[in-house]
């Protein structure tokens, strides 16, 4: 399932599998997502930005 236009749905449905694979293979979630071509690099950087994750509020589209 590679749908780079549907960020929340794609990651949401595969999150547990991505996390398990990252742990088993001792790799980062970022690497797994990029390898499986689930999202583009820019989108992965935005979503996994630790500074954005710790800021209060909800992102408005």
| pLDDT digits 0-9 by tens, 9-59 | 657 778 999 999 999 999 999 999 999 999 999 999 998 898 988 888 876
The model's pTM: 0.68
Q: For residue 48, what is the DSSP state?
A: T
Q: Where are the domains of the chain?
A: 7-54
Q: Would you place residue 3 in the very low, low, confident or very high pLDDT band (cuts 50, 70, 90)?
A: very low
Give the C-alpha separation, 6 to 10, whole Å: 6
Question: What is 7-54's CATH number?
Answer: 1.10.40
CB 32: neighbour CB atoms within 10 A? Answer: 18
């Amino acid at each position: 399932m590679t749908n780079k236009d549907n960020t929340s749905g794609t990651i949401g449905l595969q999150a547990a599998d991505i996390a398990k694979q990252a742990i088993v293979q001792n790799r980062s979630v970022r690497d797994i997502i990029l390898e499986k071509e689930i999202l583009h690099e820019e989108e992965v950087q935005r979503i996994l930005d630790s500074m954005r994750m710790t800021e209060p509020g909800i992102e408005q589209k």
